[in-house]
Homo-oligomer: A and B are copies of this chain.
């Protein structure tokens, strides 16, 4: 039988100029810029520009792009209706996937059967995902829909639409920075999905909707949800050691520690930890911070003793940051989508620049040719 790489592991599926990850050095770079610098000094809107255009905007382009994106935030009545009638027990990722595909129908002058696209002009997908998530949360909880506010940054406006009150300046900055940190990560499963769909020259909406479907899967999104489930289970700082001993005895993984790619420290986790400390001190609620830091310390100590150094990844602290910003756990994966959409769009545009339809081979291992039986139903 012919050999092949399951899950296309290690197989090069295309070229890209968008993102570089150096796991050994703990580097993540968007268009060459280190993620720590971007997350600290560049807004999500400018980061989106960088991803979509390949270079940082000048002052004029930045203002123009920001205005376009802020003008595109408001939801139409039919989308609000879809949100209102979305079945109670369902997951918001199903709603996002559906809404983005539906939104495609509202875009004028889109060129969906050619190599170019006006999504850098309309920016609906990037602009409206936060609005959909916030509206979903509020309507689901019997609260009124809060229209967007153009004076606010992407991150701050999301918190405002979600909570119904203005966030502090620092909260807005932290949210925006968290979005920057999750905006891009090379050919992960959802980004690859977006490129595969784009390769048939489908619309960017179809491609992004499909990527959301991929991110919904438990093997992709949801890591920070599981960290918080673990934190809730641990409950107190004092319970960290007994919990950890029991977990390690059962060969259970500590969620959010270690990373498939980063062998050194995930460059995003330092900043996330800083945000968690700030928000914990501001709120006077140190519980999450104390549990996580103790868990990090104790896990690293035990793993170093075994000669297996391990570090927290971005998901280790991000769930607690989101909770302290007033975001319920069910929205963590939708928030991942609302940041990653910028990277997805960049990849869709890049795919179109030098496209070839993704059409790999299957290795057939089924029954030999045979005739139908005579006793058909």
Using A46-B377, A101-B209 as known contacts, say yes or no to A192 and B7 having CB atoms under 8 A apart: no
In the complex, chain B residues whose CB is within 8 Å of the CB of A217: 113, 197-202, 206
Please tell me if the beta carbons of B31 and A366 are within 8 angstroms of each other in the complex: yes
Number of interface residues of A (CB under 8 A): 107
Pick the residue among B46, B56, B192, B200 that contacts A214 (CB under 8 A). Answer: B200
The answer to whether A361 touches B214 (Cβ under 8 A) is: no
CB distance from A2 to the nearest CB of B (A): 6
**In the complex, which of the residues B89, B93, B200, B365 contacts A216, with contact meaning CB atoms closer than 8 Å?**
B200
Q: Pick the contact of A8: B87, B89, B212, B359 (CB < 8 A).
A: B359
Least Cβ distance of A317 to chain B in Å? 23
Nearest CB in chain B: distance from A264 CB, A: 15
B206 adjacent to A94 (CB under 8 Å): yes
Asked if A372 meets B7 with Cβ closer than 8 Å, knowing A95-B102, A102-B98, A220-B200, the reply is no
**Closest chain B residue to A99 by CB distance?**
B98
| A128 CB-CB contact with B under 8 Å | no
Contacts of A197 in B (CB 8 A): 193, 210, 213-214, 217
Provide the residues of chain B in CB contact with A56, threshold 8 Å: 372-373, 376-377
Question: Which of A57-65, A232-240, A294-302 lies on the face that meets chain B?
Answer: A57-65
Let me know if B187 and A365 touch, CB within 8 A. Answer: no
**CB proximity of A360 to chain B, nearest CB, Å:** 4
Convert A348-377 into 0s and 1s, putting 1 for each residue whose CB lies closer than 8 angstroms to a CB of B.
000000001111111111111111110011
A345 located at the interface, meaning its Cβ lies under 8 Å from any Cβ of chain B in the complex:
no
A85 at the interface (CB under 8 A from B): yes
**Are A14 and B366 interface neighbours, CB within 8 A?**
no
A196 CB to closest chain B CB, in angstroms? 5
Contact, CB under 8 Å: A366 / B216 = no
Does A249 interact with chain B (Cβ within 8 Å)?
no
Q: Taking the complex as formed, is A16 at the interface, i.e. its CB lies under 8 A from any CB of chain B?
A: yes
Q: Is the CB of A357 within 8 A of B213?
A: no
- How distant is A42 from chain B, measured CB to nearest CB, in Å? 7
Partner of A357, one of B7, B10, B33, B201: B7
Given A189-B200, A364-B20, A366-B17, the answer on whether A377 and B58 have CB atoms closer than 8 Å is: yes
A14-32 to B contact mask, C-beta < 8 Å, 1/0: 1111111000000101011
List 23 A-B residue pairs with CB atoms under 8 Å apart, sorted by A's residue number: A12-B363, A13-B361, A17-B367, A18-B366, A19-B362, A63-B377, A90-B105, A97-B209, A98-B101, A101-B101, A186-B362, A187-B359, A189-B199, A196-B214, A198-B217, A199-B217, A200-B216, A200-B220, A202-B216, A203-B213, A206-B213, A209-B210, A210-B213
User: Given A42-B372, A202-B216, 19 more contacts at CB 8 Å?
Assistant: A4-B15, A8-B13, A17-B365, A20-B369, A29-B369, A46-B376, A46-B377, A56-B376, A189-B200, A189-B358, A196-B214, A197-B210, A198-B217, A200-B215, A201-B218, A202-B213, A206-B212, A207-B213, A219-B357
